[in-house]
Amino acid sequence: MIGFTKVLAMEVGAQGVTGNTVSPGLIRIERVQQHKYFAELDARWRAQALIPRPGAPRDIANAVLYLASQGAGYVTGENIMVAGALF
């Protein structure tokens, strides 16, 4: 997906269109929390995360809102990790 984003950015940039991706980390939503291995995944995630709180859908939405805003008009070909971690 990241490679596709970079190629997309190169293809449509001349028309003033930007192309970016958002890569979420472990986001706490009901469906994910019901997974049988969620407790184990959550514990591993918290041990590695730099921000000691669970991710929320709003975190992803805020990144997408930024990319859709005029403030990101010169941002293209990027992958924004919304993960609270460096991986």
Taking only the tens place, the pLDDT of each residue in 14-34 is: 999 999 999 998 898 888 888
Tell me the residue range of the domain where 64 lies.
Answer: 2-82
- Tell me if 34 is assigned to some domain: yes
In this prediction, the residues of the chain whose per-residue pLDDT falls under 50 are: none
**Could you give the CA distance from residue 51 to residue 83 in angstroms, rounded to a whole number?**
9
Structure tokens at 6: 């970079």
> Which residue(s) pair with 81 in the sheet?
23
Contacts of residues 59-64 at CB distance under 8 Å and 24 or more positions apart, as own/partner, are 59/24, 59/27, 60/22, 60/24, 60/27, 63/22, 64/22
How many distinct structural domains can be found in the chain?
1
pTM of the model as a whole: 0.84
Q: 15, exposed or middle or buried, with CB in 10 Å at 0-12, 13-18, 19+? A: exposed
- Tell me if 68 is assigned to some domain: yes
- Tell me if 87 is assigned to some domain: no
CATH code for the domain in which residue 32 is found = 3.40.50.720
